[in-house]
Structure 1
Amino acid sequence: MNKRMEKEFADISNNPPKGVSIKKGADQTKWEITIAGPEGSVYHGHNFRVICTFPDNYPFKMPDFAFETMIWHPNVTEKGEVCKEMLGEKEWVPTKQVKTVIEIIASMLAEPNVDSAINNEAAKQYKTDPKEFEKKAKEFINQYCKK
């Protein structure tokens, strides 16, 4: 792990965003992030595991983020991939930090962004039938989440 990653890990560990915990995986280029579902959201009271995988050329390229916990969400594919556009991949510069992206993911749980949807079925349901969206999200939570 490079010095930049070490510094960022220490910063997030010592001053994590609300509802977030982090640990290093066996592979030092993977971080295991746990994000608590935000209050007022269908995800509240449940924890979601997100894997952050660093590229060889970090910080010049943004890490990949993927939900390991299956989730029904407009901005997450059924394979767990998070919408890179929403995370700011096009605007990524070496001065940006992982903590900022984690905060975006946490806020995305509170308020999905249907304009950056990559799960079109979930986005359509979120817009047109919120009660059915919430029902399906809860089904995923009951099946895949740990409290």
Structure 2
Amino acid sequence: MASSSRRLKKELTDIQSSDSRTFCCVEFDESNLLHWTGLLVPDKEPYNKGAFKVAIDFPVEYPFKPPKITFLTKIYHPNVDEKGQVCLPIISPDNWKPATKTEQVMNALLGLITEPEPDHPLRADLAEEFTKDRKKFNKTAEDYTKKYAMKRPDGY
């Protein structure tokens, strides 16, 4: 745990001091650095009308095992299931590399949100709609964002 705590403290400092516009407002409990929450702030339609709260849970074996990401804000997206679980290749056990940093994971997550992968869905119905009727998908995703997403932080 000591090595994972050192690494997580460094990554947290790096994220907080970076000018990244991807992931902000990171919160954590000083007694448990293995659980973070923060806001993912997409800049492309249909998700750019709000911010999405996500939880990042790091295993005790981090960085040798990948973190788990869960959307706490509802999102209309083919690669995020109804429970907020996300299918993100960079954190799959087969693809995970200990050198991968949390900020890289969040950038990959933002990429997936703004460019869905309908060929690898967790919600087949949304993947089909995304592929066959993009206009309808975008309208529903934007409506969901307006209804469920959090207010974007000032300056975003």
TM-score (norm 2): 0.85
Q: 1:30 aligns with which of 32, 35, 38?
A: 35
Contact 1:75 1:114 in 2 (8 A): yes
Aligned counterparts of 2:129 and 2:146: Cα–Cα separation in 1: 19
Cα distance in 2 between the residues matched to 1:10 and 1:101: 16
Alignment root-mean-square deviation, CA: 1.6
Rounded to whole Å, the distance in 1 between the matches of 2:56 and 2:19 is 15
Secondary structure of the equivalent of 2:145?
Answer: helix
CA contact (8 A) 2:64 2:98 kept: yes
Once the two structures are superposed, residues 69-97 of structure 1 have per-residue CA deviations (whole angstroms, 9 ceiling, x without a partner) of: 0001011001100104x334121121111
8 Å CA contact 1:36, 1:45 repeated in 2: no
Structure 1 residues 4-83: aligned runs within 5 Å: 4-26=7-29, 27-39=32-44, 41-83=45-87
Whether the 8 Å CA contact 1:65–1:81 is kept in 2: the answer is yes
**Equivalenced residues, count:** 145
Aligned amino acid, residue 8 of structure 1? E
Q: TM-score, normalised by structure 1?
A: 0.90
Distance 2:68 2:148 in 1: 22
SS at match of 1:127: helix
Give the % identical residues: 29
CA distance in 1, matches of 2:60, 2:22: 29
Distance in 1 separating the partners of 2:25 and 2:146: 23
Distance change (3 Å), C-alpha of 1:113 and 1:16: farther
Describe how 1:100-139 pairs up with structure 2 within 5 A: 100-139=104-143
Structure 2 gaps, min length 5: 152-156
